[in-house]
Structure 1
C-alpha cells in the first residue's frame, strides 16, 4: 500500500490489512562463549569517557552495577567514571542470553581482561584505535582479587538507580517516537497449545471509533496454535474500547477443552510409576526389589507464574534505507536480544544486519523474557500501518500468553539403616522447561525428549552421600505452556529432597542439622549449613504456647553444581485460624568471589521471598481450557506484610565467581516447609499450604 493510500484510509477511521504468509520453522537460540576479543567491544574510551556496553540484560539483578564496579576496579578509576549502557545488536558482538545466573560467571573474566588491556594501552599513551586481546591470567587481574570489609563495598556503584527513582525512560514501555501508534493482538481466551483463530468480528463498530487506525489480519500473528487479530489505535486508552467493539468470535479446535484435572492426570507420578521405569535416569543404581522403605513420601507442586511487575512491551519502527529495502528497529525488554533479532529476520526474510534490537531495562524477567512474542506482534503491526507501533501486554495477557513454571509430582522413597540413609529413590513427573512447548512444536519436542530436559532435572540429584540411589524423571507436554522459571526445576526439586531428608531425620530422632552434616563430605555445603545455623542460633528452638505453634527448619543445597546456599526459617501457626507466618529467615550464601555484595544480598532476598510464595501462596488457576488468572487478585503473591526479617550472610571466598540470581531457591522453600512440619507435626505434601489446609491437618492429628 502506498503512503498516500494509507493516509487516506487511516483518516477515514479504520483500515483492514491482510498480508502474505510467513515461515513457522522455529529459530534455535545461539549460546556463544564470550572471549576477550568480544569484551574489547564492550568497553570504549573516548575523550576521557569510559562507556561500558553491558553484555547482560538488566532486570533488577544489579548486573550493571557489578560489571561497572569490575570495570572501574580494573581500569583504576572511580565507578562513576564508567558509564554503563544497554546495547543494541549493532553495538556489540553476539552474546548468550541472560539466563541461568551466569552473567558474572560468563562475562567477568573477559571484561576484566579487556579493561586491563585498555588500562595498559592508555598508560602507554595510546588513546585511539583498536586493541588486540591479551590472555591475562585471572591471578593478575585487580578486579578479581578477594576484597574484604569496606574495600568490598567500595566496588558497588549506583548503576541505573538514580534514573529509576527520578523516572527517566529505561523500560520498553517508556519508548516514545514521533507518530507513535499503539497496538494489541487479540487472541482466543484459551491456551496457545490449542488451535484457535478469529472467526468473525464487528469491523463496522471499530470503524465508528475515530481512534481506530487498523484491524490487521496476518499469518505472522500466529503464536504456536493461537492465530491473533491485530488492532492499531491512536491512544493507549482506546485499546480496551476498540477490542470490546470488535466483539471477536473465535473458532477453537474441537475436542480440545480441558480443566485442571487434565493437568493433574498428565503428571501424576504414581500413574507413571505403574507403567514402569521413567524415561530419564540421573542415577540408576540397582536397588533391591525387597527394599523395606523407611520413608515413602508423595509431594505435589502446582503451576506457577513469573508475575513480573512490568508486563512485556516492545516498539517496532520500519525505516527507509538508501537502497529502498526495508530496515527494522525494535525496542524491547528481552533476556536475549540476538535471538529476537534472529526470529524477526526469519519471519520477515531479512538479513539480520537490517534489524536492530535495542535492549531496554526489564521490570522482572525470571526466565520468562526469553522468547520473541510481543516483539513480533509489534513488528507485524508496524509494517501493516507504515508507522511506529508500541505493543504492551496487559496483566491478563501476561498471565495467559506467557509460559509458566511447570507443575511437578514427586515420590521419594528412602531406607534408613544404622543411623544413615542407605537407599534413595526419587521419581518425578513434570513438564518441559528448556524444551518449552511455547516455542517447540510437538515433533521437535519429541526429538529433544530423547536427550531429556535438564531444566526439569535441575536440583533432583541430592547433594548428600547415599550409597545406592535411583533418580528418574519424565517430562509430559501439557495443554498449558511451561518453561523456565527462576531456578528452573531446582526450586521444587530441592524442596522435595530437603523435605524427605527431614522426614528421615525425624524417623531416627536426629537433629536436622547434624543429620545433613552426617550425610555430606562437601566442605562448602557443610560451611553454609553451619553458618546459617550459627546466625540463627540453631539450638534455641522457639517454643509453642496455648495459642501459637512455633517451629524451626533448615535446608541446604547446591545450585548447578557451583553455588551453595543454606537457610533456617522460623514459623508461627495460629491454632485457632491455621494462619501461618514466617517470622524470620536466615540464609548463608556462597557464590564464589562476590563482585557486588549489595546486589547478591538483594538477589538472595528476592529468592527467599519467591520460596515463601512457593510454599504458602502461589498456585496459578486453570479453568476453561486456559490460565484463569487475569490480575493479581486471582494469583496471590506474598505481600509486604508477609515478608519476615531476612538475614543474608555472604561467605567470603576466593573461588571463581558463580551464579547468585537463583542460588537461594535451593534452600529457602525447604527451610520454610520443614519449619512448618516442626511446628505442627504434619508434613504438608500439596502446595501451597493455606490456612484451611493447616486447620484440617491439625484437627485430623488431634
Structure 2
C-alpha cells in the first residue's frame, strides 16, 4: 500500500476555540432542536494568524491522526514495527473509538519529532498497554470534532447525531467523514485537540464493541510485495559502504598496527578509519570504507590488524560461573529488593523441611534476520540524519548528541532518525551501539553519508546478549499445611540497564542500594510463601566482559525458569499435585491482592489461568506413552506492575538413549485484559512460545576468550521448523485494560518443558538450554543405585 507523505501538523486551537470557530457558539453547543428543518449555513471561518495552514482537503483532530476528504484516515505511529504489528493494534484502537471503517485506515510510521518524543521507545510489551488510553482519546476527539462539524450540515444538534462506519447521521440523513472534511476544511483553519486537552477527555467506560475482533495487519502487504523498506535498504547519493573490523574484546582493546596495502589495489576501496572512543564504548575499532558493499567485504578480508586485547581476553564461561558462585555465597553482596526480615532467616535456618536449588542459564543471542546497520550523514541544512531500524530513539539520540557535542536541549532540532521497518528487534535495537560507529565515521569524513553494515558474524560478535545467570532459591516447607512458609531468592547476572542506560538511570533503589529491575523481573511472585527475600547481584565479571542486553522476555525469561522449576520440586517434596500446590498459595491477600490500574485481581487472576489450563489439558494427565510427560508452569510477565498472567503446559518425549527432548505440544492460557486484535495477539503468543522452546532446548552459547563463541547458524542453532510443536493458545476474557503480549508467552515455556522432562523420566534438569548430555546426566543422577 503506497504511503502518502506525512501530513503537516498545524498549531492547535483550544477545544473551546475550535467549537466556536467551527460552527458558531450556540450551534456547537447543541442548542438546535433535534434534526431541525431550518437550513444552517456555516459562517465564514476566520484565518488564524501564524502557524502552518491545514490543507483544504484534510482535518487534523489531534497529533495522532489526519482525516482526508477522500475518506482515508492516517494514524501516526511512533512505535517501532518489527513484526509485532504494533501499528495495526494502535490504529485499530483509535479507529474503533472514532467509528472509522478499517478498510479506510493507513498507518504512518513517523520520523523523530519533538511532539512525539515521549513515545520513541518500543519494548517491554508496553506499546498497546501505554497506547490504550491515548489512542482511544484521540479517536474520541476525532468523533466529537466530526459530530460538531456535521451537525449544522445535517440540521441537527450534535447530541442527536450518531457516528458509525465512517458516517455521521441523524433522522435518515448522513454524511461520510470524507464529505464532512470536504465541506468544512478551510485553508488557515486551525483545529484539533492539544495533547493536554486530549488527556483531559473522559472515555466511555466500555470499549467499542468491535474491539477484540481479528483484523488484517496493515504492514503485511508491503512486506509481501517488497515495498517495505528496512534500515538495510536505505540509500543516499554519494554514500560510502562500511564494514567494521571488530577488536577481540568488547572493552579495552587497542590497535597496534594496521596494514591495508593489499586492499589499496581494489577498485572502489577508499581507506580504513580507526576509531578509538572509550567514552562511547568503541576502543580498537577500524572501519573499512568502499564504493560498494562487496568491495568493502573484499577489502576487509585482506586488511591485517594487530590488536592488543582488553583485560578480559582470557575470560571464559567457567570464570563467570565461578564468580557468580562467589557473589552468591557472599551475604553482603548485591542489593536487597524485598526484605523478609529476621523472621525469614530464623525460619530458613531452623526449618526441618528445607529445599535449596540452583538454576543456570547460558548467554542467548538476538540473531535477528536483518543484521544491525546504520546510514548516517549531515544533510545540507546541518541536521544529522540517521537511517536505521531502531527500537528506542528516545534513548539513543541523546547518546548520539553527546558523541557529536550537540547540547541536550537541541537533540530533536539537530538530529533526526528516519523510521524504517525492523528485520527483527527482540531488544537488540534498543541498544544504539551499532549506530554510533556510523555517526563517528561520518563525522571524520565531514558528514559524508556512511552506511555501516555488520555481517552475520560481526553482528553475533558485537551482540549485547542476554547475560548468563545463576539463581539460588531456598524455601522452608510447613509439613502441616504442605505449603512454603518462608523463601529466599538470589539472582546473579549481568545487568542490562546498567550497561545500556547512561549514568545508571535505569536502576532503582532497593533496601540497601541500587538494582536493575530488569534483572529480577518475575522474581516477585504472586504466591503467598510467608516471609520472602529477593536479592539482586550484578556479576561484575560479566559486566566487564560483555555488554548485557535486553532480550525478549528479559528478567522473567530466567526468573520464571528458576521459580517454576523450583515450585515443581517443592510440590514433589511436599507430596502434592503440582497444580494443587500452586493454587494453595495463589491467595489474593496482602500485596498479592493486586490493585489498580493494571494488577486488579492479583493472585486470583493467576489462579484463574492455571485452573483454565488444567481444565483445558485434562489435568492430571494419565495414560501417556512411555517416556512422555506433561509439565506445567504459571507466572506473569512483563512486570508485577503491568502483569499479563499466564499458565503453560508442555507435552514432551525424552529419548533415554540419546537424551534428546522433543516438545510435541504447548498449551498457553493468558489473561492480558482486553484483547485489542485477537489475530495479532495470537500471532504474538505463537512467536513468543516458539522462541521459548528455542531457548529451552537449543539457543545458548558459551563465553570464550572474552566473547560469545557462536557466530553463525553452523554453531548457533535456533528451533527448526521440523521441531515446531503444536500450539493451543487461549485468552481469558476479562474486562480490564490491555497489558502486554510480546513477551509473556516466552517466559513459562522453559520451566514447563523442564517439569515435563521430570514427569516423563524422573530426571531433573536445572540448566538452560537443555542439552541432550545434561538430560543423560540427570537420568544417571536419578537412577536408583544398583
TM-score (norm 2): 0.78
Q: Give the C-alpha shift of residue 233 in structure 1.
A: 0.8
1:328 aligns with 2:384: yes
Deviations 1:129-187 (A, max 9, x none): 23122446665177x3465xxx7325x23221011111113210111233332112222
Identify which range, 574-583 or 289-298, moves more after superposition. 289-298
1:347 aligns with 2:403: yes
Q: 1:254 to 1:674 in 2, by over 3 A?
A: closer
Distance in 2 between residues matched to 1:257 and 1:99, nearest whole Å:
34
CA contact (8 A) 1:68 1:157 kept: no
Q: Determine which of 475, 478, 486 is the counterpart of 2:552.
A: 486
Q: Give the C-alpha shift of residue 223 in structure 1.
A: 4.5
Q: 1:169 to 1:442 in 2, by over 3 A?
A: closer
Q: 1:231 to 1:316 in 2, by over 3 A?
A: same
Distance in 2 between residues matched to 1:87 and 1:488, nearest whole Å:
27
Identify which range, 381-390 or 656-665, moves more after superposition. 381-390
Distance in 1 between residues matched to 2:461 and 2:74, nearest whole Å:
39
Distance in 2 between residues matched to 1:534 and 1:494, nearest whole Å:
22
Q: Which residue of 2 aligns with 1:378?
A: 438
Identify which range, 495-504 or 378-387, moves more after superposition. 378-387
Distance in 1 between residues matched to 2:369 and 2:712, nearest whole Å:
11
Deviations 1:512-535 (A, max 9, x none): 111111111222111110112222
Q: Give the C-alpha shift of residue 333 in structure 1.
A: 0.7
Q: 1:203 to 1:45 in 2, by over 3 A?
A: same
Q: Which residue of 2 aligns with 1:412?
A: 473
Q: 1:59 to 1:254 in 2, by over 3 A?
A: closer
Matches within 5 A, 1:537-616: 537-545=618-626, 549-559=627-637, 560-561=639-640, 562-616=643-697
1:366 aligns with 2:426: yes
Q: Give the C-alpha shift of residue 647 in structure 1.
A: 0.8
Q: Determine which of 264, 288, 299 is the counterpart of 1:231.
A: 288
Matches within 5 A, 1:262-273: 262-268=319-325, 272-273=328-329
Q: Which residue of 1 aligns with 2:599?
A: none
1:207 aligns with 2:264: yes
CA contact (8 A) 1:411 1:426 kept: yes
Structure 1 unmatched runs, 5+: 1-35
Q: Which residue of 1 aligns with 2:223?
A: 164
Q: Give the C-alpha shift of residue 391 in structure 1.
A: 1.4
Q: Which residue of 2 aligns with 1:687?
A: 768
Deviations 1:648-671 (A, max 9, x none): 101112101111111123422221
Q: Which residue of 1 aligns with 2:204?
A: 140
Distance in 1 between residues matched to 2:685 and 2:390, nearest whole Å:
22
Q: 1:145 to 1:466 in 2, by over 3 A?
A: farther
1:338 aligns with 2:401: no
CA contact (8 A) 2:489 2:534 kept: yes
Q: Which residue of 1 aligns with 2:67?
A: 45
CA contact (8 A) 2:333 2:537 kept: no
Q: Which residue of 2 aligns with 1:117?
A: 141
Distance in 2 between residues matched to 1:255 and 1:162, nearest whole Å:
47
Matches within 5 A, 1:88-487: 88-90=111-113, 92-96=115-119, 97-125=121-149, 127=185, 128-132=189-193, 133-135=197-199, 139-140=203-204, 144-145=207-208, 152-154=212-214, 156-190=215-249, 192=250, 194-220=251-277, 223-224=280-281, 226-253=283-310, 256-268=313-325, 272-276=328-332, 278-285=334-341, 286-287=343-344, 288=346, 289-321=349-381, 326-350=382-406, 351-352=410-411, 353-385=413-445, 387-417=448-478, 418=480, 419-436=482-499, 450-477=513-540, 478=542, 479-487=545-553
Q: 1:60 to 1:284 in 2, by over 3 A?
A: same
Distance in 1 between residues matched to 2:460 and 2:222, nearest whole Å:
28
Distance in 2 between residues matched to 1:542 and 1:39, nearest whole Å:
61
Q: Which has the higher contact order (CA 8 A, sep 6+)?
A: 1
Q: 1:604 to 1:333 in 2, by over 3 A?
A: same
CA contact (8 A) 1:112 1:141 kept: no
Distance in 2 between residues matched to 1:483 and 1:427, nearest whole Å:
20
Distance in 2 between residues matched to 1:184 and 1:668, nearest whole Å:
38
Q: Give the C-alpha shift of residue 378 in structure 1.
A: 2.1
CA contact (8 A) 1:396 1:630 kept: yes
Distance in 1 between residues matched to 2:397 and 2:781, nearest whole Å:
57
* Alignment RMSD: 2.6
Task: Name the SS of the counterpart of 2:302 in structure 1.
Answer: helix
Q: 1:333 to 1:72 in 2, by over 3 A?
A: same
Q: Determine which of 97, 103, 112 is the counterpart of 1:74.
A: 97
CA contact (8 A) 1:337 1:358 kept: no
TM-score (norm 1): 0.87
Distance in 1 between residues matched to 2:398 and 2:138, nearest whole Å:
27
Q: 1:41 to 1:327 in 2, by over 3 A?
A: same
> How many residues get paired?
651
CA contact (8 A) 1:146 1:593 kept: no
Q: Give the C-alpha shift of residue 358 in structure 1.
A: 1.0
Task: Name the SS of the counterpart of 2:320 in structure 1.
Answer: helix
Determine which structure has more spread, i.e. the larger CA radius of gyration.
Answer: 2
Q: Give the C-alpha shift of residue 42 in structure 1.
A: 2.3
CA contact (8 A) 1:556 1:666 kept: no
Distance in 2 between residues matched to 1:170 and 1:87, nearest whole Å:
14
Deviations 1:74-128 (A, max 9, x none): 2212223221121111384202411211111111211211121122212333545
Task: Name the SS of the counterpart of 1:124 in structure 2.
Answer: helix
Q: 1:552 to 1:542 in 2, by over 3 A?
A: farther
Distance in 2 between residues matched to 1:161 and 1:109, nearest whole Å:
26
Task: Name the SS of the counterpart of 2:213 in structure 1.
Answer: helix
Distance in 2 between residues matched to 1:129 and 1:211, nearest whole Å:
53
Q: Determine which of 493, 498, 503 is the counterpart of 2:564.
A: 498
Q: 1:542 to 1:267 in 2, by over 3 A?
A: farther
Q: Give the C-alpha shift of residue 439 in structure 1.
A: 5.7
Distance in 2 between residues matched to 1:277 and 1:480, nearest whole Å:
21
Q: Which residue of 1 aligns with 2:725?
A: 644
Q: Give the C-alpha shift of residue 696 in structure 1.
A: 3.0
Distance in 1 between residues matched to 2:395 and 2:504, nearest whole Å:
21
Q: Give the C-alpha shift of residue 278 in structure 1.
A: 4.4
Q: 1:443 to 1:662 in 2, by over 3 A?
A: closer
Structure 2 unmatched runs, 5+: 1-13, 16-59, 150-183, 588-602
Distance in 2 between residues matched to 1:277 and 1:242, nearest whole Å:
48
Distance in 2 between residues matched to 1:442 and 1:593, nearest whole Å:
35
Task: Name the SS of the counterpart of 1:503 in structure 2.
Answer: helix
1:515 aligns with 2:581: yes
Distance in 1 between residues matched to 2:715 and 2:579, nearest whole Å:
38
